[in-house]
Amino acid sequence: MVCLILPTKNEEACIGATIDKINRICCQLRIVVVDGNSTDRTVEIARQLDVEVIFDRGLGKGEALRSAFNYAKDDVVFLDVDGTYPIELVPEFIKALDKYDLVVGERVEFTGDSLPKIFLIGDALSRGLFHLLYFRRVDNLSGMRAIRKQAIQKMSLESDGFGIETEITAKAVRMGLGITKIPITYRARTGDSKFRPLRDGMVVLGALIMYRL
């Protein structure tokens, strides 16, 4: 069974609606919330909705996803819970795993104020640099993906923070894994972003260079 992973930290404003929508669309999907020591009602709400909850050490998104990958023991889909990604396309991502090792939600449209201008500029620069270094046009920052378990095991992932998506993309390209892209719309989030442009941008830049070398 494919496992849908939801990394969370203080997401009480959206976690309930996200899980409800997932259950309406994919009624037999296993859902695992991996929480980074939330101080609000995130965990309480998730448990009330009868999903599995595990905890990471609070080091960042990468560490959260790696913890969940080890726990799941299956092919996985992951996305953020803040409403930015199209949950209705989850079945399409799962189906694509029949043919591909990695399925990337390629953000082709940004609605409203889903990303501030500085984020859009950084996003474009990151994608351009990825293409320059890896000779492949893939959205290296997208937080909606599906991955086969065997591919996860081959990658030996190590990122703790926001470099995790770039690490996954870079290693998949360099290993010659089967990759496909599904066009998605990126929507305005519920709640505050955890991404800090300067600090986390440098983390992404470091990952781009590190996994090329």
Q: What is the pLDDT of residues 121-180, one digit of tens each?
A: 889 999 999 999 999 999 999 999 999 999 999 999 999 999 999 999 999 999 999 999
**pLDDT at 197 (0 to 100):** 63
d(CA 201, CA 213): 19
**pLDDT at 13 (0 to 100):** 94
pLDDT at 116 over 90: no
**pLDDT at 1 (0 to 100):** 84
Token readout for 80 is 């953020």
State how many domains the chain has.
1
- What is the CA angle 89-156-15, rounded to 5? 35
User: What residues make up the domain containing 83?
Assistant: 3-210
Token readout for 76 is 């996985």
**pLDDT at 128 (0 to 100):** 96
Q: Are 97 and 89 a contacting pair, CB within 8 Å? A: no
The domain that contains 133 carries what CATH number? 3.90.550.10
Q: What is the pLDDT of residues 50-98, one digit of tens each?
A: 999 999 998 999 999 999 999 998 999 999 999 999 999 999 999 999 9
pLDDT at 191 over 80: no
Average pLDDT over residues 108-132: 88
pLDDT confidence band for 193 (50 / 70 / 90)? low
In this structure, the number of other CB atoms found within 10 A of the CB of residue 77 comes to 26
Q: What is the dihedral of CA 166, 151, 53, 141, to 10 degrees?
A: 20
Weakest mean pLDDT among 11-15, 114-118, 157-161: 114-118
| Counts of helices then strands in the chain (DSSP H, E) | 8, 7
